[in-house]
């Protein structure tokens, strides 16, 4: 693009729309990240909660690896969305709260093997991330 080009109002309007669309689309990456995080976390909770000790022990590093991966992915993103602070922080806090509450419920009142309740509990534990994904991908 040449900075000395004349810019008609019509061309300006079109360029405003193009640039805004590109940036908004690029800024939605936390939505996809939340979706992947929710899927992996859900599988993790279900597998670990099913009570197979060998598998559970093998999966212990998963949450730490996931957190590290999220940090690295986030640090490499070239666009940070306008609503990043407003959306991500409450979602992260809610995710921690539901995870801790879910673990307490699992340890106190749940059977220590696979049941339908385990699926429901795991879904509730990752529900904040689905909310986060929905909010980003519908902006």
Partner 1 sequence: MTADGHPRNRLDDTIHAPVRLSIMAALANADRIDFRYLRDLVEVSDSLLSKHMTHLENAGYVTIVKGYQGKRPRTWFSITDTGRTAFTKYLAALHDIVGEVR
Residue list 15-44, contact with partner 1 (CB under 8 A) = 15-20, 22-24, 26-27
Closest to 95 (Cα-Cα) out of 24, 56, 58, 45 = 45
Number of shown-chain residues binding partner 1 (CB under 8 A): 29
Residue list 58-117, contact with partner 1 (CB under 8 A) = 75-76, 78-82, 84-85
Q: Does 138 bind partner 1 (CB under 8 A)?
A: no
Is 22 or 112 the residue whose CB approaches partner 1 more closely?
22
Q: Are 47 and 56 in contact (CB under 8 A)?
A: yes
Distance of CA 65 to the CA centre of its chain: 15
Please return the burial class of 4, using the count of CB atoms within 10 Å of its CB with bins 0-12, 13-18 and 19+.
exposed
Interface contacts to partner 1, rule CB under 8 A: 1-3, 5, 7, 9-10, 12-13, 15-20, 22-24, 26-27, 75-76, 78-82, 84-85
């Amino acid at each position: 693009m040449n900075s000395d080009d004349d810019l008609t109002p019509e061309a300006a309007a079109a360029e405003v729309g193009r640039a805004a669309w590109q940036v908004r689309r690029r800024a939605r990456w936390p939505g996809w990240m939340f979706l992947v995080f929710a899927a992996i976390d859900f599988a993790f909770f279900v597998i670990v909660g099913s009570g197979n000790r060998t598998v559970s022990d093998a999966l212990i590093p998963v949450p730490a690896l996931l957190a590290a991966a999220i940090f690295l992915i986030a640090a490499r993103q070239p666009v940070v969305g306008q609503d990043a602070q407003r959306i991500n922080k409450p979602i992260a806090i809610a995710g921690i709260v539901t995870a801790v509450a879910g673990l307490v419920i699992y340890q106190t009142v749940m059977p220590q093997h696979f049941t339908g309740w385990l699926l429901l509990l795991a879904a509730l534990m990752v529900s904040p991330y689905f909310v986060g994904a929905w909010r980003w991908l519908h902006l």
